[in-house]
Amino acid sequence: MARHTYRCPLRWSDMDAYGHVNNVTYLVYLEEARVSLFERMDLASPLETGVVVARHEIDYKRPLVYRSEPISVDIWVEDVSRRSWTFGHRIHDDAGVVYAVASTVMVAWDIAGQGSRDLSEAERTQLLTLTDEPG
């Protein structure tokens, strides 16, 4: 699996008083894409063994209005370090219109010790299979 595309359903309530999907809600879509990816990865779930979000960068390209068809959230791995990695994301529709691009830095977390930890070899290997950015 070189990358993952999550088909993300919108909710009517994702829109704010301006009648557009609120900028904050795009981050919920990124979260849903990560959750979807973790579920598919052939690995004890990082969600269970511990991972935290350390940083987001997001550029908004176009306003998005509620519609019943899902939007696509591409997710891939931009970089892997000893204790962290970076997800790239692109939110787009089927016509290729891009609504946002984003990067998220994730840190492997030791839940018991409440601090960062090294990525396991299995985690690193899995993440490296996701390093192909969509063309």
Per CB under 8 A, residues contacting a second copy are 9, 11-13, 15-17, 19, 22-24, 27-28, 31-32, 35-36, 39, 52-60, 63, 66, 68
Calpha distance 108→46 (Å, rounded):
8
Least separation in angstroms between residue 76's CB and a second copy is 20
Taking the least distance from each CB to a second copy, the nearer of 7 and 82 is 7
In the complex, least distance from residue 75 CB atom to a second copy, rounded to whole angstroms: 14
Q: In the complex with a second copy, which residue's Cβ is closer, 35 or 128?
A: 35
Residue 52 Cβ vs a second copy, minimum distance, rounded to whole Å:
7
CB atoms within 10 A of CB 13: 9
If the CB atoms of residues 43 and 58 are measured against a second copy, the closer one turns out to be: 58
Structure tokens at 4: 């993952």
**Residue 130 CB, nearest distance to a second copy (Å)?**
19
Determine which helix (DSSP H) or strand (DSSP E) holds 32, and give its type and residue range. helix 25-40
Q: Could you tell me which residues come within 8 angstroms of residue 78 by beta carbon, excluding any fewer than 6 positions away?
A: 85, 86, 87, 88, 103, 131, 133
| Cβ–Cβ under 8 Å, residues 52 and 109 | yes
